[in-house]
Amino acid sequence: MAGKTLLCRTVGGDFFHEGPERRAANRGGQRAGRAGDGTGNGRSECEAMSASSGQAGNGAPLIELRGVRKVYGTGTAAMEALRGVDLRIERGEFVAVMGASGSGKSTCMNILGCLDTPTSGEYWFQGVEVGKLTRNQRALLRRHYLGFVFQSFNLLKRTSAVENVELPLIYRHAGTRRHSRALTALKQVGLTGWESHTPGELSGRQQQRVAIARAIVSQPVVLLADEPTGNLDSARSVEIMLLLRSLNSEEGITVIMVTHEPDMAAYAKRIVHFRDGLIEKDERQHEEEVCSP
């Protein structure tokens, strides 16, 4: 998955509107996409957008924040959660985001995940300025490029592991491939044999694995993980970190993970420290410093 870039350069125009033209564009995108993986829907639209931006494949970083500010509230109640953040993340990085509570980590992750927009400044994704996209286009970007893992797993309780993992594909019209892709994702996270179990029949560690399978089933370029080990003891946390590490190194998924725990951050190749709405420190770890199994 590393180096997944812009496959649809020949497609021009605005492919983000709904309707028959959009569906036709999707079909075209599938043909232009990777053979047989069925991920062409929507992603090719984003790729077309990248291509038409003129920066695609032109050395644009995967992610770039330029002077991002976020202000909550107005007037005397205004609260500046981010105060001009500059951040550049390349494909294939594994970044831990650390900082005291209230330092702006979640606000930054929400912006990176297209769940919120900056008050000012720019967010660029693969050479596309996200602030210039419509709400629907941002939803497509989220759905086709980003995977999310949360502290609290957020699984449907009465639904089997495999059906939980299939969920994101329902919105992608993955059709008959949905089930087999969910099974593959469960295998990737080491849960073969547990497919028909409901979350209540699984341990916390296994539930987080299901949540990770759900996040990777749509083959995202970036995995955004918010305290993924916050509900696990340290032995289980290490297992999850090793899984994220292997998704990063084997599958080429860029991982951006918020954590409070230095022990968990030690598994990342880079640690970005937030303080009072700004990046205070940005450290790259040498290979020998990164925690190994």
Nearest CA among 27, 3, 33 for reference residue 15: 27
- Least distance (Å) between residue 108 CB and ligand ADP: 7
Contact indicator for 141, 130 with CB cutoff of 8 Å: yes
Site string for ligand ADP, 117-156 (x = CB under 6 A): ----------------------------------------
Distance CA 277, CA 293 (A): 34
User: CB burial class (10 A; 0-12, 13-18, 19+) of residue 220?
Assistant: buried
- Least distance (Å) between residue 228 CB and ligand ADP: 14
- Least distance (Å) between residue 33 CB and ligand ADP: 35
Query: Binding residues for ligand ADP, how many (CB under 6 A)?
Result: 12
- Specify the residue, 74 or 176, whose C-beta has the smaller distance to ligand ADP: 74
- Specify the residue, 98 or 217, whose C-beta has the smaller distance to ligand ADP: 98
Distance CA 221, CA 114 (A): 14
Q: Which of residues 74-113 bind ligand ADP (CB under 6 A)?
A: 79, 81, 99, 101-107
Contact indicator for 232, 261 with CB cutoff of 8 Å: no
- Specify the residue, 109 or 140, whose C-beta has the smaller distance to ligand ADP: 109
- Specify the residue, 79 or 156, whose C-beta has the smaller distance to ligand ADP: 79
Buried-state track 221-232, b at ≥16 Cβ within 10 A, e below 16: bbbbbbbbbbbb
Opening angle at CA 174, ends 173 and 180, nearest 5 = 155
255 binds ligand ADP (CB under 6 A): no
Q: Which of residues 24-83 bind ligand ADP (CB under 6 A)?
A: 72-73, 79, 81
Chain residues in the site for ligand ADP (CB under 6 A): 72-73, 79, 81, 99, 101-107
